[in-house]
Structure formats: structure tokens, C-alpha cells
Amino acid sequence: MIVFSKERYLPTMINTIVLFKNDAYFYIHRDVYDQAIIVSDKYTFEELKTAVGVNGKLEEIVNWFYKAAPTPINILAPFISLTNLNIDKDLEECCGVLHTITAIINVKHFVNQPEELRKRVNFSYLVKTEYEMPWERFFMTAIKYSSSIQTIGNGMNNILKDHAMDNRDKNVNTGLSNTAVETGEAIKQETGQEEFQITDSEKEQTRRLLSF
């Protein structure tokens, strides 16, 4: 799988690697990525062009894609020439062609095949359109990066709001408790001063009553 997009996505498909270059994103399946790494370690770009059999018709496009695409998938540029079609200098179209080709052949093993067999491989015009449905499935399952950031932001705002509400409730409860304690202390102090204090005149009246 090789998918191109100007917009950033978070893939939900496992084993998907995201590359970035020239303000564009490239979503590569790990298997294709590993094949590209192996091929780039074994061949130079010019050696691979010779092995694949790049012709003059598409050599300009092959050279352009090699410079425009990120490493390591740029090493796959020579395989574009297996189409013998009119292809523009368009990253989406080139990635779509390579998406279809890498889904059908193993590029790592292709260069090891006899030259006679390699020359027989040629992809029809359908290679320019067959990638559209797989790409559509990829974008349907992937998550837009902007949407994910907004979701995370909303979640953080909700957490902060809940935390603020909890603190406010705790402060209200603490305030009520303190008020109750203060009120109770005031009652106790007031009662102690007025209810249990006996004056001298009250003592004198008590002695007179007891003397009769």
C-alpha cells in the first residue's frame, strides 16, 4: 500500500508508516516499506533503472519522482516505467501507480528474475485507476489529524470543568462546616456567660430563704 495525501491522517490500519515531504503525507504499508529498504541497500538508483529497464519515454517522470518522494519509497520510482503509459509529474498519480504495482509484484524479488521475464511485465492503463477504491477505504477508516486534536482538546476542557466543579463543591461544604462550628462555639460561649453565672444578690436571696 502506498497512499498520498496533502492532508494529515492518523491511520487505523496496523503496520502503516507515515512519511512526510514537500508538504505532503505518504502512508506506506510496512511490507512495502521494508522491500524499499532492502532494494535501496542492494542497488543504487541508476543500477535499479537498468535492472527494471526504464525507457526514455518515462525516464523523466522516474527521475522526477525519485527527487520528489521521500526516502525510501523514492527508490521505487523505476517501477513506474512498467506501465508504458503517459504519466504526469503528479505525486498522487505516481503513488497510485506504485500502489497497484507493489500490490501485484514483490519488487524485492522482481529484480532477481531473468531479464527476459522482467521484460514481459507490463501494466495496462487500469493501473492508473485501480488504486482509487483502496485509497477511499483507507481514508474512510483513517482519522483526520485536525479532528483528533479537536476531540482531545474537548476532552481536556471537560476534565478541567469537572475538576473545577469538584473543587467548588468541596469549598462550599467546607464553608458550611466552618460556619456550623463557629456558630456552635458562639452558642456555647453565650450560654456559659448568661445561664451558669450566679450573682451575689442571688446568693443572698438564697440564704434568706433557707433561714426560715
Q: Check residue 106 and give its pLDDT.
A: 93
Q: Which of these, 121, 52, 133, 129, lies nearest to 93 by C-alpha position?
A: 129
pLDDT tens figures, 104-152: 999 999 988 888 888 888 888 788 888 999 999 999 999 998 776 655 5
Q: Which of these, 194, 47, 34, 210, lies nearest to 107 by C-alpha position?
A: 34
Q: Rounded mean pLDDT of 162-181?
A: 56
Q: Check residue 210 and give its pLDDT.
A: 47
Rounded to an integer, what distance in angstroms lies between the CA atom of residue 69 and that of residue 25?
Answer: 10
128 alpha-carbon distance from chain centroid: 29
Q: Check residue 120 and give its pLDDT.
A: 86
Q: Check residue 139 and give its pLDDT.
A: 94
Q: Which of these, 42, 5, 54, lies nearest to 25 by C-alpha position?
A: 5
Q: Check residue 166 and give its pLDDT.
A: 62
- Kindly give, in sequence order, each residue whose CB lies less than 8 Å from that of residue 101, ignoring residues fewer than 6 positions away: 79, 80, 82, 83, 107, 123, 127
Helix (H) or strand (E) holding 35: helix 30-42
Q: How far apart are the first and last CA of the chain?
A: 118
pLDDT tens figures, 193-204: 444 455 666 556
- Kindly give, in sequence order, each residue whose CB lies less than 8 Å from that of residue 38, ignoring residues fewer than 6 positions away: 108
- Asked whether the predicted pLDDT for residue 64 surpasses 90, the reply is yes
Judged by phi (left if over 0) then psi (alpha if -120 to 50, else beta), residue 84 lies in left
Whether pTM > 0.85 for this model: the answer is no
Question: pLDDT band for position 78 (50/70/90)?
Answer: very high
Question: pLDDT band for position 57 (50/70/90)?
Answer: confident
pLDDT tens figures, 4-22: 999 999 999 999 999 999 8
Grid cell 523514492 — which residue? 74
Q: Which of these, 81, 137, 140, lies nearest to 110 by C-alpha position?
A: 81
Q: Which residue has the higher pLDDT, 91 or 187?
A: 91
Q: Which residue has the higher pLDDT, 32 or 157?
A: 32
Poorest-confidence range of 41-45, 85-89, 167-171?
A: 167-171
Q: Which of these, 51, 171, 63, lies nearest to 109 by C-alpha position?
A: 51
- Asked whether the predicted pLDDT for residue 182 surpasses 60, the reply is no
Domain locations along the chain: 2-141, 152-211
Q: Rounded mean pLDDT of 91-104?
A: 95
Percentage of the chain surpassing pLDDT 70? Answer: 69
- Asked whether the predicted pLDDT for residue 188 surpasses 80, the reply is no
- Asked whether the predicted pLDDT for residue 192 surpasses 90, the reply is no
- Kindly give, in sequence order, each residue whose CB lies less than 8 Å from that of residue 174, ignoring residues fewer than 6 positions away: none
